[in-house]
Amino acid sequence: MEERPSTFLRLAEPLRGFVQRFTYLGLILAAFGLMLVGKADTVLVDRTRTHVTDAVAPILDAMSKPVTTFTRAVDNVRDLADIRAENARLREENARLRDWQMAARKLDAENQAFQKLLNVVPDSAVSHHTARVIADSGSGFSHSIILNAGKGQGIRDGQAVLGNDGFVGRIAGAGSRASRVLLITDINSRIPVVIEETRVRAVMAGNNSGRPRLLHTLPSQRITPGQRVVTSGHGGAFPAGLPVGIVAAVTDGGIEVQPYMSRERLEFVRAADFGLGGILESNDRAGPASGGK
């Protein structure tokens, strides 16, 4: 009984050595044979590959689910951290907005009290008409755009044209269905402006470039880059306070203004009627005179 296991082991030892010695060679021969079969019968190989893929797919799917679940859990944790940070930021912003709201209400109440005290005449109601820019007729010698609205839509000569960022120009010619806007960068544009911080008055003149210049300023007047430029309201053409741009450079050659409006990004604009007739009245008076000549 004790001799049988030892005899079996002695007989299996050469076989095990043979298998270990020729296993690598057998795998190479099997791979070579599969290559030959694949060359000889591609349909059979493709069909076998398809069956193997179908058989292994459930295993791969089961193995991938824990990985996917773990990835989703990590993403959820990250999203939760981002949401908490966003909530904290929104709380701080909301607190600042409440402070600004309280300050705005206080200033509004004071403003109304001062207006009643000084018997200030209220501004007339503003009406505006939105139009789309259909053409840029500007060139190196003129800066203007064409709108798809005219007198039939309530557009009139001299009206202020506003974009999303600020003051764009004025209506220089209104037809029945289209109108032309003279941009603030055009060489024929002259706008009374004021430096918002220092209340220094000037005239912003276009020069067919991206940066109009300020004229009629004194050397003693302190103007520095970064100051906001708004319309002054003088001349009765445009109301005061329309945002125009910021002072871009102060050099010996002059003071340059970077407009808020971008000629390349103009798509929709508003032609606003502020009830001012500075330009309109001058055009009306010039019309009959020129016609009489």
- In order along its 293 residues, the chain shows pLDDT tens digits of 444 556 656 666 666 666 666 777 777 877 777 777 666 666 666 777 677 777 767 776 666 666 666 777 778 888 888 898 889 899 999 988 988 988 888 888 888 888 777 776 666 667 888 999 998 876 667 899 999 999 999 899 989 999 988 999 999 989 988 999 999 999 999 999 999 988 999 999 999 988 999 998 887 788 999 999 999 988 888 888 999 999 999 988 889 999 999 888 889 999 988 876 655 554 444 444 334 33
| pTM > 0.75: yes or no | no
Number of helices (H) and strands (E) in the chain: give both, helices first: 3, 12
Is 218 contained in some domain? yes
Residue 288, pLDDT score: 41
Is 158 contained in some domain? yes
Is 66 contained in some domain? no
Q: How many CA atoms lie within 13 A of 95 on its CB side?
A: 5
CATH no. for residue 270?
2.40.10.340
Work out the angle at residue 87's Cα, subtended by the Cα atoms of residues 85 and 90, and round it to the nearest 5 degrees: 110
Residue 124, pLDDT score: 60
User: Other C-beta atoms within 10 Å of 27: how many?
Assistant: 10
Is 55 contained in some domain? no
Closest CA to 143 of 189, 109, 110: 189
Residue 260, pLDDT score: 94
Range of the domain at 183: 127-282
Residue 282, pLDDT score: 46
Number of domains in the chain: 1
Which secondary structure element, helix H or strand E, spans residue 161, and what is its range? strand 160-162
Is 117 contained in some domain? no
Residue 273, pLDDT score: 86
CA-to-CA distance for 212 and 165, rounded, in angstroms? Answer: 17
Q: Length of the chain in residues, anyone?
A: 293
Which secondary structure element, helix H or strand E, spans residue 250, and what is its range? strand 243-251
CA-to-CA distance for 67 and 101, rounded, in angstroms? Answer: 50
